[in-house]
Amino acid sequence: MGAQQREYRQRSRSVQSTKKITRAMELIAASRVVKARQRVAETTPYARAITRAASAVATHADVDHPLTTKREQPKRAGVLVITSDRGLAGAYAANVLKRSEQLRELVEDSGMEFVPYLTGRKAESYYNFRSRPYEDSWSGFSDSPTFDVAQEISERLIGEFTKGSDEGGVDEIHVVYTRFVNMVTQEVQVTRLLPLEVVEDAAPRTPENGFPLYEFEPDAAEVLDALLPRYITSRIWNALLQSAASELAARQRAMKSATDNAEELIKTYTRLANQARQAEITQEISEIVGGASALADAKK
């Protein structure tokens, strides 16, 4: 076998093994994304119940809570950036980081300090590589977050918020995450988490008076005290789960196009190898014919 032909065959084999890997990753991501979407759906009852209760208290009782009060002159803005632990998911992590950089500019333009909180190893390495400081980070769970993690993050963030910027905390908290719209569309979202704006339920239950008159036990302020941190936790939990689903969907898509590319390459290399083989045969035939006719000429 000629050298040229051997080289093409070797390359084709190497691409074939790459294709096997990307195909496997695609299938794994595809099966996990179903599970991740299911988890997002399963948390909806909890989020809905908390949102309803929180808006009931907020519309009902005239209570000012520290978590809902806007600071007069915010100095430090905390930003929770939710990325993935691993790459090979197309532009998933890059999109989130790009968006967080835009937010950073916005925050710094308005004269505030940008205080990053990171989740996912991709965000950590992005900050480490640029030797930029970050306040805190969590990682190792990006494609299947647990509720404990959400609770830990929310406790930390609420703690920082209640401290306020004068004591090294923050005055605002934003979240950058990826919202899962469907399998092909995932959008990077920026939302303000604190100070809280309780969004009222889209469908009012009793049109004439909005929410029924609640009795609060022990009292409205304390119910709010128990409710609002849970509301924050459920928002973070939801953001983590949506990001996980988005990451898996992005990985599936990236691996699908990698597999398609590999197939294309294999086809090209097979054609090139065939061409090389054909050229070799043609050359051999013309050598034989040439040799034979030389012999026949010599006999004459």
Partner 1 sequence: MSALQVELVAADRKVWAGEASMVSARSIDGDLGIMPGHTPVLAVLVEGEVGIHHGGSTEKVTIDGGFLSVDDDLVVIVADRVDASALSTPAGN
Report the interface residues with partner 1, using CB under 8 A.
39, 42-43, 45-46, 49-50, 52-53, 56-57, 147, 150-151, 205, 212-218, 222-223, 226-227, 230, 233-234, 237
Nearer to partner 1, 23 or 39 (CB): 39
Nearest to 249 by CA among 29, 84, 40: 29
Other CB atoms within a 10 A radius of the CB of residue 29 amount to 23
DSSP state of 70: P
CB of 223 to partner 1, least distance (A): 5
Nearer to partner 1, 175 or 273 (CB): 175
CB of 49 to partner 1, least distance (A): 5
Instruction: Report yes or no: 171 and 71 within 8 Å, Cβ to Cβ.
Output: yes
CB of 44 to partner 1, least distance (A): 9
Distance CA 8, CA 266 (A): 10
Nearer to partner 1, 111 or 212 (CB): 212
The residue length of the chain stands at: 300
Other CB atoms within a 10 A radius of the CB of residue 131 amount to 6
Nearer to partner 1, 3 or 213 (CB): 213
Nearer to partner 1, 134 or 147 (CB): 147
CB of 35 to partner 1, least distance (A): 12
CB of 50 to partner 1, least distance (A): 6
Instruction: Report yes or no: 21 and 229 within 8 Å, Cβ to Cβ.
Output: no
Distance CA 54, CA 27 (A): 41
